[in-house]
Chain A
Amino acid sequence: MIETEQLTKKYGDLVAIQNLSFKVEEGRIWGLLGPNAAGKTTTMRILTGYLPATSGRASVAGFDVFEQAEAVKQSIGYLPETVPLYPEMTVESYLGFVAEIKKVPAARKKAAVDRAVQIAGLQSVRKRLIRNISRGYKQRTGIAQALIHNPRVVILDEPTIGLDPAQIKEIRDLIKSLKGEHTVMLSTHILAEVKEVCDGVVIINEGKLMASGSLEELARSFSQNDGVYLKLDRADGEVLNLFRQLPGLKEAALEGAEIRLEWPWGQDLRTQVLKFCLDRKLEIKEMRSLAMNIEELYLRIVSGGMEQ
């Protein structure tokens, strides 16, 4: 649905992004992840046709971003980093204006505005001036604006920046509800957001692609085995030897107060481990997944780079 090939953008001598190639499948929510000034906004601006690329190709919804700009713009809903609002308009008249410039037929305009108001939860403020509504509602209005013409692709640049925790949760739920019907690409540097909302990520740093794929794929490419960390009422060689009898287990090791158990990807021995402990009257204090969490993944990718 979104595809780029060797995409490069230079501002004079400054290279903003370099040879970016990635792919986002239809109906998925994909995160564009990277530290500040990594080139996230530039990438999104190129995809939406706001900026031309210096070289390379990009296509959205099957249309070439450079050759078929108008068709691309018609299929994209875009929330830029600065929410593009006209403070002197009401929420409703603003959405009406966006519907007009997004070429929603006049007969369907009212229905489109109603639908966007509904999805973004703006019913209580629809008649109010944008200058008078809260930051959270402004952000929602920005998202409503991006969805007004029911686009196939939605691109959101830092959709939760500057919101309070409750608002962040609301916006994330809103984004999750778009899954399936829309292909969503959102940029962020908040890792929890990726973990909660996204199916996969494109990680860039200093304009270069560091990794891309689904979260599981990335986790797999970093460690050979799946497994758990186990915290029991006791941890010693005796317990370890007990675990080594468990069928399917590849490795059992002591790590501080915890026991690390590993098995090959694709198997899930967690139930067996639980049962095993219960049978032997081992008291479980804590069990957590061995798979690298997104924070570790991100730090390793951004600092070290990775063969992909």
Chain B
Amino acid sequence: MSAIWSITKKELVSYFTSPIAYIVIAIFILLSGFFFYSLVWWFNTQAMQMAQNPYYFQQVNINQMVFAPLFHNLSIILLLMLPVVSMRLFSEEKKMGTEELLFTSPVSVIQIILGKYLASLVVLLAMLVLSAIPTIFTFIHGNPEPAPYLLGYLGLFLLGAAFLALGLFWSALTENQIVSAVLTFGTLLLFWVLSWAAYSARGLWQDVLNYLSFFEHFDGMTKGILDTSDLVYYLSFAFFGLFLTHSVIQFRRWR
């Protein structure tokens, strides 16, 4: 455990002494702030119009009208930005020759992988927590339901965790950070597009494609529904990513 933590600390030093973490976090906050602001503005105008009709006014719901679209927008931004967070994790070690130090230390490959993964999760957490600060004001000046709000952020975190595991896998395959980021980005887009393909598919195929798509599992959470199958999906996706990373590293050394 202490070995994992040592690796995590070292990775965090690398993240926060280079501009990468700051830029990613700052841009994420900026974009999420912009989306939040424009959604609240739109919500206000809508609410004002609806207030004139008692029937429609019943249906004004800040969770549905502000947070659900906000979470969807943020999930796409994560897809675009997290490959940048994960790209250096193994690529850099390989390029700098430092992986020789790591792999000749009495630390297991699993501990190295978990340490690195944990550090990237800390960056993700920082992105989400810092970007959530402005949204707290809706609780002060209104009364959104907390469950869909919290589950939405949990969903974003799980989604991001899955993205990062996939990114870790690609970074273990190449010593070029750009290649690693592009491959991660491409794979994530592919999974995104799966949900579009699901529309035109029929029967079993539709179910399979829908199941594989990242964002299908995210929908329920933004509505405040916690389905264990969604949790299982994200966790097994992350686990699979880490498992593949481990296999790649072992294979590269043992071939």
Interface pair B14/A88, CB less than 8 Å apart = yes
Asked if A263 CB lies within 8 Å of chain B CBs, one says: no
Q: Could you say which residues of chain B place their CB within 8 Å of the CB of A106?
A: 2
- Encode contact with A along B90-128: 1 for CB under 8 Å, 0 otherwise: 000000111111111111000000000000000000000
Interface centre among B104, B107, B254 (most CB of A within 10 A): B104
CB distance from A142 to the nearest CB of B (A): 9
| Chain A residue at minimal CB-CB distance from B3 | A101
Whether A51 pairs with B3 at a CB distance below 8 angstroms is no
* Shortest CB distance A72–B (Å): 9
For residues 62 through 86 of chain B, which have their beta carbon under 8 Å from a beta carbon of chain A?
none
Note all chain B residues with C-beta closer than 8 A to A52: 253-254
How many Å lie between the Cα of A51 and that of B98 in the bound state? 15
Given the interface contacts A52-B254, A101-B3, does A86 sit within 8 Å of B106 by beta carbon? no
A297 CA to B1 CA in the complex, in Å? Answer: 51
Is B7 engaged at the interface, CB distance under 8 Å to the other chain? yes
Picked from A98, A100, A103, the residue with its CB within 8 Å of the CB of B101 is A98
Instruction: List A contacts of B3 (CB < 8 A).
Output: 100-101, 103
A86 x B96 contact (CB < 8 A): yes
A97 to B107 CA separation, bound complex (whole angstroms): 12
Complex contacts, A85 vs chain B, CB 8 Å = 96, 98
Q: CB within 8 A of B103: which of A50, A74, A89?
A: A50
B residues 24-68 with Cβ under 8 Å of A? none
**Main SS at interface, chain B:** helix
A138 at the A/B interface (Cβ < 8 Å)? no
Of the four ranges (under 10, 10 to 19, 20 to 34, 35 or more), the interface on chain B belongs to 20 to 34
How distant is the Cα of A76 from the Cα of B105 in the complex, in angstroms?
9
Q: Do the beta carbons of A84 and B253 come within 8 Å of each other?
A: no
**For A89, what are the chain B residues with a Cβ–Cβ distance below 8 Å?**
10, 13, 17
- State whether A88 touches B101 (Cβ < 8 A): no
Please tell me if B6 contacts chain A, counting CB pairs below 8 Å: yes
Interface status of A27 (Cβ within 8 A of chain B): no
Interface residues of A in 72-113 (CB under 8 A from B): 73-74, 76, 78, 80-89, 93, 97-98, 100-103, 106
CB neighbors of A among B240-255 (8 A): 253-254
Please determine whether B105 and A102 come into contact, CB atoms closer than 8 angstroms: yes
A97 contacts across to B, CB distance below 8 A: 6, 9-10
Question: Which residue of B has the minimal Cβ distance to A81?
Answer: B97
Q: Is B18 an interface residue (CB 8 A)?
A: yes
If A50-B104, A101-B107, A103-B106 touch, does A86 touch B98 (CB 8 Å cutoff)? yes
> Could you tell me which residues of chain A, from 38 to 61, have a CB within 8 Å of some CB in chain B?
45, 48-52
From B17, B18, B106, B253, contact of A73 by CB (8 A): B106
Taking beta carbons and an 8 Å cutoff, which residues of A are in contact with B? Answer: 45, 48-52, 70, 73-74, 76, 78, 80-89, 93, 97-98, 100-103, 106, 145
- What are 13 A-B contacts with C-beta separation under 8 Å? A45-B100, A49-B104, A51-B253, A73-B106, A80-B101, A81-B97, A84-B96, A86-B13, A89-B10, A97-B6, A97-B9, A101-B3, A145-B101
